[in-house]
Structure 1
Amino acid sequence: MSRTADIAIVGGGLVGSALAYGLASRGASVLMFDPDADDLHASVGNFGLVWVQSKGVGAPDYAALSRRSAAAWTDFAADIAGRSGKNPAYDRCGGIKIALGDSEMEALEASVRRLHNQGSDDVVMISREELVDRVPSVGPEAVGGSYCAADGHADPLATHIALRIALRTTARAAVVRRRVDGIVPDGDGFTVLAEGERFGAGKVVLAAGHGTTALAAMLGLDVPLRPERGQILVTERLAPFLGPACFTVRQTNQGSVLIGDSKEDVGFDRGTTPAVGGAMAERALRMFPCLADARIVRQWGALRVMSPDGLPIYAQSRTHPGAMSLSCHSGVTLAAAHAGEVAEAVLSGTLAARYPAFSPDRFAKVSA
């Protein structure tokens, strides 16, 4: 056996890194498997919103988890920044969804009413006048929108780097740069097989994004996932003009503007297309005409990790105690929760009991 630990985490993106940090901070020894080779990290392409106002419409448990995580982000960001010396660039600046035209405004009002009916009353509708007051640079087609003070944004890459450095400071974790080929339950826990080496762990948690489904089957877990491509445009650095975070447009702390507004079913193709890029740019210009002369300096595509209903999947094996899985497309928003309450549930073996709404059993019930 090469090395052993209390817990092995397969996957080192934002989900796996946040969980590893939370576990190590609570005294568990951790091996986190994250190969050097490209492994479809969703983290590298994340838009960076810490967002609650449109999360969990019709899914109150998801809405509540998103709000708890957003509320924990200030302390979480300060913690990892203090340990790492790296700024995750978190700003709880409030968030706005802009409506271009009356039909979009009506759809937003209906969505906000549903959130209010679920008990989420921190999202409010704002008029054209209130919108202009908050964002003077908004264009004439914007008729209003919705606003939530709990929303904000962070730099996904900086957050990931801060987490990795903070993880090292715990002296309880090691990153294994090997791809996991198999996981074998044994009498005392699990043997992780990684490129010819064997590692031991009392518990194992899969946080491998799109690699999770195949590994989960080895542990008696059915974790159905699909890729959804999102494209992002990045402008040159501009003078500050956008205070709040907006749902599809945000200005970073360095001045560049990120524009992201696509959901594409194209399999595992992470490419970019002029048509989608042009459509995103056109809508961004309608919201913010001041972007007309801004140069686009980069465009990329990345794959969201989506469950059939879009909600997280937190799975705990009945046949192999100690085996668990975490999958979601909200790695930034939920990072504070993964390092906090979810890490506590993993340590105590109560993941399934604490988050029954996110069990993969819900899909079996639908198909039945």
Structure 2
Amino acid sequence: MYGTRVVVLGAGIVGAACARELAEAGLEVTVIERDRPAGGTTSHGEGNVLVSDKGPGPELALTLLSMRLWPQVLAALADRGAADTAAVEWDPKGGIVVATTEDGAAELDRFAAAQRAAGVLVERLDSAALAAAEPRLTREVTAAFHYSGDAQVQPAGAATALLSAAVAAGATVRTGCEVLGGTVRGGRLIGVRTSAGAQDADIVVNATGPWSGDVSARIGAPIAVRPRRGEVLVTTPMPPTVFHKVYGADYIAAVGSGSAALQTSAVVESTRAGTILLGSSRRQVGFDDRLRPHVLSAIAVKALRLFPCLADTAVMRCYGGFRPYVDDHLPVMGPDPRLPGLWHATGHEGAGIGLSVGTARLLRQLVLGETPDIDTTAFRVDRPAVLGASNATTTHKERGLA
């Protein structure tokens, strides 16, 4: 495979991670980005690296792989002595998931038990342990579980560090290049046409996140990836107040929901800068990027139920972004059987930051014809939800919540 020309479309964290893996494997990699690196979905999230919201199944397997790989990738970046390694801001703070009703407690207990059986480290906290871990959290909690594996990164910093490592390994990055279409010869994709000219390739990797559906359609093999919008509130810097990623059990249900309507849940965590991030929301509104006051208000109300102490805290800004949504809530990874030469690495919705390194490792293994670390069958391109043949959504039971 040495000398194989690979074009990675998209310089978000998934594209950057794929470019790094492929370049370090000796392939000739060019990254094409229509705007600037990490300028889309990657820079509009919270930087979550989570295991706590994944029920048993293929996505959890990918999550556990990624959790094993993140420390290795960070160590490799540090060994390279890259100046931007510190910008990753890796913080293995752990997560705490809480319920505030008896029904929620029973459901959360079943969910945690299923995760534990699948290999996730999860510990139930009694009231004293919870108070010690999060002294400012409401005491109206009926169940709480601690996930030591949950972590956080500065997403744009992490993507930049991965992309820099790809460049150090020989990759080239072209910004300001919008994909206009594919170049096909003999039924095979041999490159892409961009606003800055043609780019030949033996393999084209579609890692354009929420725009993957549009980009794949331009190339000639559309996939059913749609944008799902989310918003986050950011407080002014504060003294230490929140020490883990803390969220309500309804966050798990919101992640697994297929509804296009607004879904909100309480998610509260601090950053190294001292600000506190308040989320989260999910709604399908196309690429409408307007902030809606009622959405921001709903987020704040739920966050205050967990941390009433934040009632008088000033919010200095808010932002929103789009996540790549697939009806069955699973990533899309691997070759497109309809168009040889086209590959996909997308559809992670809100989990792309955490799953980026695992996705990149699997993609490299598949490209090189190696046995992947985990079974990738569930992520294949030719499944109904990806080809648009199904509008079925994953139920809570399928995600391990019932």
| The 10-residue stretch of structure 1 (183-192 or 230-239) with the greater mean CA deviation from structure 2 | 183-192
Task: Name 1:124's counterpart in structure 2.
Answer: 123
Separation in 2, partners of 1:349, 1:340: 11
Q: Secondary structure at the match of 2:237?
A: coil
Contact 1:184 1:218 survives alignment (8 Å): no
Q: Secondary structure at the match of 2:368?
A: helix
- C-alpha change, 1:294 and 1:196, in structure 2 (3 Å) is closer
| Residue among 83, 87, 91 paired with 1:85 | 83
Q: Shift in Å at residue 215 of structure 1?
A: 3.5
Q: Shift in Å at residue 181 of structure 1?
A: 0.6
Contact 1:249 1:257 survives alignment (8 Å): yes
Task: Name 1:30's counterpart in structure 2.
Answer: 29
Q: Shift in Å at residue 180 of structure 1?
A: 0.9
Separation in 2, partners of 1:367, 1:292: 40
| The 10-residue stretch of structure 1 (32-41 or 256-265) with the greater mean CA deviation from structure 2 | 32-41
Contact 1:205 1:323 survives alignment (8 Å): yes
- C-alpha change, 1:154 and 1:175, in structure 2 (3 Å) is same
Separation in 1, partners of 2:96, 2:8: 36
- Per-residue deviation, residues 208-263 of structure 1 (Å, max 9, x unmatched): 12332244346664421122111100011111232222241111111111111211
Mapping 1:195-206, distance limit 5 Å: 195=195, 197-206=197-206
Separation in 1, partners of 2:362, 2:220: 25
> Given the alignment of the two structures, is residue 60 of structure 1 paired with residue 60 of structure 2, yes or no?
no
- C-alpha change, 1:219 and 1:34, in structure 2 (3 Å) is closer
Contact 1:126 1:145 survives alignment (8 Å): yes
Contact 2:69 2:357 survives alignment (8 Å): yes
Gaps of 5+ in 1: none
| The 10-residue stretch of structure 1 (162-171 or 223-232) with the greater mean CA deviation from structure 2 | 162-171
Task: Name 1:337's counterpart in structure 2.
Answer: 358
Contact 1:69 1:337 survives alignment (8 Å): yes
Q: Secondary structure at the match of 1:331?
A: helix
Q: Secondary structure at the match of 2:142?
A: strand
Contact 1:124 1:148 survives alignment (8 Å): yes
Mapping 1:2-151, distance limit 5 Å: 6-36=5-35, 41-55=40-54, 57=55, 60-83=57-80, 84-86=82-84, 87=86, 88-116=88-116, 119-151=118-150
Task: Name 1:291's counterpart in structure 2.
Answer: 310
Contact 2:336 2:382 survives alignment (8 Å): no
Identity of aligned residues (%): 27
Contact 2:176 2:196 survives alignment (8 Å): no
Separation in 1, partners of 2:37, 2:283: 21
Contact 1:130 1:144 survives alignment (8 Å): no
| Residue among 332, 335, 341 paired with 1:316 | 335
| The 10-residue stretch of structure 1 (187-196 or 59-68) with the greater mean CA deviation from structure 2 | 187-196
- C-alpha change, 1:355 and 1:219, in structure 2 (3 Å) is farther
- Per-residue deviation, residues 128-181 of structure 1 (Å, max 9, x unmatched): 332212212211223332221111111112112222322222233333431111
| The 10-residue stretch of structure 1 (59-68 or 95-104) with the greater mean CA deviation from structure 2 | 95-104
Q: Shift in Å at residue 52 of structure 1?
A: 0.8
Q: Secondary structure at the match of 1:132?
A: helix
- Per-residue deviation, residues 48-103 of structure 1 (Å, max 9, x unmatched): 11001212x2x511101101101211222233355432220111221111222323
Separation in 1, partners of 2:228, 2:173: 31
Separation in 2, partners of 1:37, 1:270: 18
Q: Secondary structure at the match of 2:282?
A: coil
Q: Shift in Å at residue 190 of structure 1?
A: 0.8
Structure-2-length-normalised TM-score: 0.82
Task: Name 2:369's counterpart in structure 1.
Answer: 348
- C-alpha change, 1:131 and 1:144, in structure 2 (3 Å) is farther
- C-alpha change, 1:257 and 1:246, in structure 2 (3 Å) is same
Contact 2:211 2:227 survives alignment (8 Å): no
Separation in 2, partners of 1:49, 1:121: 17
**Structure 1 counterpart of 2:98, one-letter code:** I
Q: Secondary structure at the match of 2:354?
A: coil
Separation in 2, partners of 1:335, 1:288: 31
Task: Name 2:282's counterpart in structure 1.
Answer: 263
Q: Secondary structure at the match of 1:320?
A: coil
Gaps of 5+ in 2: 248-266, 393-402
